[in-house]
């Protein structure tokens, strides 16, 4: 007979997400996950199979946290100005509780590189593509340009966002503000 779980998977994944976001994938051990999540190794393996499984669930959790930003942009009728707002709101989001954490997805891209676990990489690329698609839809609101130009602008914005995500971990607020302003003057 299976034992009843004495924990909420959502709550323990939120704790794991914070740990991965703070320390990175490679530096986070199963022992650290046990301590942070408040469950033992057996429970981790029973619920999530392995560290990769915990991380993939953490990416889903992170996506749900970021969803409020992308939903706001999706529902906006402000086009490029809405994307600019997204950039500013992301900086606030990435610096919650006074920590400069950047973006969990971009941090992991930078940490693991292209040759890492294909399942993890696919999830990270999917996340990035979803944000890019939201940018593209916002561009289409006011840009009367052909699809190729809009695609190029969406590519530019997602790469700018990746740069901002990395910079938000170390740069001063004034520098981040200047970067955002310059990105949108360049558009």
In a domain, 45, yes or no: yes
pLDDT tens, position by position, for the chain (187 residues)? 456 677 889 999 999 999 999 999 999 999 999 999 999 999 999 999 999 999 999 999 999 999 999 999 999 999 999 999 999 999 999 987 678 899 999 999 999 987 788 999 999 999 999 999 999 999 999 768 899 999 999 999 999 999 999 999 999 999 999 999 999 999 8
In a domain, 1, yes or no: no
Rounded to the nearest 5 percent, the helix, strand and coil shares of the chain are 75, 0, 25
Task: Tell me the pTM.
Answer: 0.89
Residue 25's domain is classified under what CATH number?
1.10.357.10
Question: In whole angstroms, what is the distance from residue 59 CA to residue 37 CA?
Answer: 16
In a domain, 4, yes or no: no
In a domain, 81, yes or no: yes
Angle between helices 118-142 and 51-74 (to 10 degrees): 0
Number of structural domains the chain divides into: 1
Q: Which residue segment(s) compose the domain that 154 sits in?
A: 9-186
**26 contacts 111 by C-beta, under 8 angstroms:** yes
Question: In whole angstroms, what is the distance from residue 119 CA to residue 53 CA?
Answer: 10
């Amino acid at each position: 007979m299976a034992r009843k779980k004495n924990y909420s998977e959502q709550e323990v994944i939120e704790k794991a997400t914070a740990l991965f976001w703070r320390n990175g994938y490679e530096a986070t051990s199963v022992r650290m996950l046990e301590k942070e999540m408040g469950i033992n190794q057996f429970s981790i393996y029973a619920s999530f199979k392995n560290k990769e499984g915990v991380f993939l669930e953490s990416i889903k959790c992170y996506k749900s946290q970021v969803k409020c930003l992308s939903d706001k942009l999706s529902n906006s009728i402000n086009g490029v100005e809405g994307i600019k707002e997204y950039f500013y709101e992301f900086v606030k989001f990435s610096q919650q509780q006074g920590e400069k954490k950047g973006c969990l997805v971009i941090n992991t891209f930078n940490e693991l590189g292209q040759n890492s676990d294909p399942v993890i990489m696919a999830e990270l690329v999917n996340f990035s593509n979803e944000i890019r698609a939201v940018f593209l839809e916002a561009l289409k609101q006011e840009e009367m340009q052909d699809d190729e130009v809009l695609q190029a602008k969406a590519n530019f914005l997602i790469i700018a966002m990746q740069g901002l995500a990395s910079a938000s971990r170390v740069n001063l607020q004034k520098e981040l503000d200047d970067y955002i302003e310059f990105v949108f003057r360049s558009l």
